[in-house]
Amino acid sequence: MSLHWVDISILVAYCLAMIVVGFAVERRARGGMGSYFLGDNKLPWWVLSLSNAASMFDISGTMWLVSLLFVYGLKSVFIPWLWPVFNQIFLMVYLSAWLRRSGALTGAEWITLRFGHDRGAELSRISVVFFALVSVIGFTGYAFVGIAKFAAVFLPPVLEPSTYGLIIVGITTLYTVVGGLYSVVVTDLIQFAIMTFCCLALGVLAMQQVPPGTLETLVPAGWSDIRFGWTLDLDWSGLLPAVGQRITDDGYTLFGAFFMMMVFKGVLVSAAGPAPNYDMQRILAARSPREASMMSGLVTLVLFFPRYFMIAGITVLALAFMGPQLSTSAGIDFEQVLPVVIRDFLPIGLSGLLIAGLLSAFMSTFAGTINAAAAYLVNDVYRRYLRKDAPDRQYVRASYVASTAVVVVGCAAGYFTTSVHAATEWIVAALWGGYAAPNLLKWHWWRLNGHGYFWGMMGGILGAIALLAVPDVAPLQAFPALLAISLLASVGGSLLTPPEDERVLMDFYTRTRPWGLWGPIHARVVAEQPGFVANDGLGRDAFNIVVGVVWQTALVALPIYIVIWDGASAGIALAIAIGASFVLKRTWLDRLEGADESAPGAETGTATAGAAVPATGSTKLQRR
């Protein structure tokens, strides 16, 4: 079945509109680095939140999540903890505020605030740039293989799927390069509106087409039960044998052990803070630490319900109408369930609109990733080492070149990636496994210095890259080894070299106000500033994280239960979400007052790293 001319017209109109919007905001991005990469720190928190949600609503991830729900049922709501999706809760509760207080332009620039200006700090900065580029190349390859698989199903076979992918990438790159963060955010808002409408429409369509009780005959016992034991116990053998093989290949049969490893990894990675990508960029672009926290909180609220409403709708339609076809097929690519459903089972008009919505999801993620990567290349390489005092306009032009270069290298990596699932596992389990230890220590241990951070990062990154040569070892299985390597390198590198300058550490501690192992530095700060009070929020933050994860999980499960007509479970999920929202209102949101007081210069993103921050202000501010 080929696309109707109405659907094709919708797609063409959408692509042209995105290019027009990109050029329309081009003038606002000319002001300099702060304008191009952070929108002058003038964008409202809710706008940044919707933009961030749109960037997370990527097409490759959606294809992956549809395949997971198809295979694992309600238990699949936990598998994205691999990413981990609950890192947004850690950001919401405390990390976004800590990060935004720096007033930095990029994560690498933040390093100067933490480690100063010595050789170790310089090495640390280089390691962050290296990680950012490896990460972005991985994400770009992941996105490229997803869009190519998507195009292979519903676009005419006149061109190769990878060629269609390059065309879509080219359009996205054009408006991203021209307009910077302004362009990314404005197009994200349009794209988020389209995606939300499509999600709700598709979920409703699935409920109309698949009445209550139908699904029970199409899935194994336990598919619609979110509870699980040590083993998965989903027997697809009498329905779709290929699904059972997929479970075996994934290695998730011992689901209890898999779940514990996900939680262990997820907590460490989340506590390490955001990876240097579009998520961190939105936090640094917020107008204040308070708004950065609220921005991260709203992402969970606006992203998960509509996205999973669509995911559930596509899965239900696939189970109901593709079952006979899949039962006789060998070598099923479950990642193509989503585009096949769109092509074969949606009405004219809605198909085109949904394809446009999913293309917009791809564009949002791709644009945000490329814009963030260019910031590292220009601010932390070109500006720092090549042209320190060039005019701002020259830096913006350099950003055009950097964005294009990242796209070219990332797409080249995409040609060697065959599976969205494989790419996802490598990024979230291997690459971020090496990222966790040094970035967790940088917040919570005063003795970590620039040398330790550098060796920890490089040990983890190189270990993750080396894992690509050992395909028989699953990335999640390798996570403990990668974590141990980077942890030993971080601690050893720090203890074998002198600690950072005390004044640098005191400045970071007073500006960021973290909790953790900061005893010697806290004592020095109090000696100079007797009114300074340590952050005693560890217990409250930990409690809010637990409540937040429960809240987020309920918001994921709720739309699935609605679409599969499980009213009782939907009611329980809704009650949990409302109850958790009330608790978070009292224990998190109401206690954010004062968090919008930034470090000097943080309002404009121009804080001088390492500058002393007076310990004036309310006790609430100092405790937070």
pLDDT grade for 327, boundaries at 50, 70 and 90: low
Do 163 and 229 belong to one domain?
A: yes
Q: Cα(58)–Cα(52) distance, rounded to whole angstroms?
A: 11
Residue type for position 240: L
Do 61 and 81 belong to one domain?
A: yes
Q: Is the pLDDT of residue 620 over 50?
A: no
Do 449 and 557 belong to one domain?
A: no
Q: Given its phi and psi angles, is residue 479 left (phi above 0), alpha (psi -120 to 50 degrees) or beta?
A: alpha
Query: What is the chain's Cα-based Rg?
Result: 24
Residue 332 lies in a domain: no
258 contacts: CB under 8 Å, gap ≥ 6: 251, 252, 476
Phi, psi of 26 (to 5 degrees): -60, -40
Do 260 and 369 belong to one domain?
A: yes
The pLDDT assigned to 375 comes to 75
Residue 542 lies in a domain: yes
**pLDDT per residue as tens digits for the range 243-292:** 888 888 888 888 998 899 889 988 998 999 887 666 777 888 888 999 99
Whether the CB-CB separation of 42 and 133 falls below 8 Å is answered with no
Do 289 and 392 belong to one domain?
A: yes
Residue 607 lies in a domain: no
The pLDDT assigned to 22 comes to 61
Q: Is the pLDDT of residue 28 over 60?
A: no
Do 480 and 575 belong to one domain?
A: no
Residue corresponding to tokens 């979110």:
226
Q: Minimum mean pLDDT among 409-413, 458-462, 514-518: which range?
A: 409-413
Count CA atoms closer than 13 A to 102's CA, side-chain side.
27
DSSP per position, 582-614: HHHHHHTGGG-TTTT-PSTTTTTT---TT----
Residue 524 lies in a domain: no
Do 293 and 152 belong to one domain?
A: yes
- Tell which residue, 301, 303, 298, 302, has the closest CA to residue 286: 298
The pLDDT assigned to 603 comes to 38
Whether the CB-CB separation of 313 and 123 falls below 8 Å is answered with no
Domain boundary among 483, 500, 517: 500
Show the DSSP H helices in 155-254 as ranges: 161-209, 241-250
Residue 361 lies in a domain: yes
Do 431 and 549 belong to one domain?
A: no
The pLDDT assigned to 363 comes to 66
Domain boundary among 472, 500, 528: 500
What are the CA-CA distances from residue 464 to residues 103, 427, 490, 611 (Å)?
Answer: 31, 9, 16, 36
Q: What is the CATH number of the domain that holds 78?
A: 1.20.1730
Do 375 and 481 belong to one domain?
A: no
Q: Compute the 3-state secondary structure of the chain and give helix, strand, coil in percent, each to the nearest 5.
A: 75, 0, 25
Residue 553 lies in a domain: yes
Q: Is the pLDDT of residue 62 over 60?
A: yes
Do 492 and 557 belong to one domain?
A: no
The pLDDT assigned to 609 comes to 35
Say how many domains are in the chain.
Answer: 2
Residue 518 lies in a domain: no
**pLDDT per residue as tens digits for the range 220-229:** 999 999 999 9
558 contacts: CB under 8 Å, gap ≥ 6: 305, 308, 570, 573, 574, 577
pTM: 0.82
Phi, psi of 428 (to 5 degrees): -85, -25
Do 382 and 408 belong to one domain?
A: yes
Q: Is 98 helix (H, G, I), strand (E, B) or coil?
A: helix
Length of the chain: 624
- Most confident range, picked from 176-180, 189-193, 327-331, 427-431: 189-193
Do 110 and 186 belong to one domain?
A: yes
Residue 619 lies in a domain: no
Cβ-in-10-Å burial (0-12, 13-18, 19+) of 488 comes to middle
- Expressed as residue numbers, the domain containing 30 is 5-326+338-418+536-592
